[in-house]
Amino acid sequence: MARSVEHHPRAWARLRVDVNCALRRGAWYRAVRLTRDNVTLDVSRERVPVPRRLLQTMFAAPARWSVVPRPSDAVNLPDEWGTRYVVCPGCQGRAPLSGFPQDLPCPHCRGVFTVAWDEHYLKRR
């Protein structure tokens, strides 16, 4: 049985595998519907169904930068960003990463968030 967000205080999801789809790697999106097989996400005010097996889901607001390894098929990602970048938990904006900072300000939304160094983000399919 499908459950809408009214049945959950808040739910978010992001890709947990390195695949091309309508989602930005590392970005958390608000879940608007959950079923056994799919999660429907709010992506730029559009509802996008994604197979649940491709997603990591949580029921607390994301609060840390995702460290993302540069995809081999990256589009619109500056070469000077190197082998990794970060994605803001607040606005899904991408930013370059230099060194190993504990906290970073977002150049887009201006929020300051901790970097999730303890995560090993993106498993291969």
Whether 87 contacts 93, CB under 8 Å: yes
Phi/psi at 76 (5° precision): 60, 35
**80 shares a domain with 33:** no
Which of 11, 38, 58 marks a domain boundary? 58
- The C-alpha angle 13, 104, 66, rounded to 5 degrees, equals 25
pTM metric for this prediction = 0.85
Q: Is there a domain that residue 108 lies in?
A: yes
Q: CATH code at 27? A: 2.30.30
Q: Is there a domain that residue 54 lies in?
A: yes
pLDDT digit string, tens, across residues 26-35: 999 999 999 9
Q: Is there a domain that residue 24 lies in?
A: yes
E-strand ranges in the chain read 3-4, 12-15, 29-34, 38-43, 46-51, 55-58, 64-69, 84-87, 94-96, 103-105, 112-115
Measure the CA dihedral 55/18/74/11, to 10°: 10
What is the domain extent for residue 70? 64-115
pLDDT digit string, tens, across residues 45-83: 999 999 999 999 999 989 999 999 998 888 788 999 999
Instruction: For residue 35, give both structure tokens.
Output: 């079923």
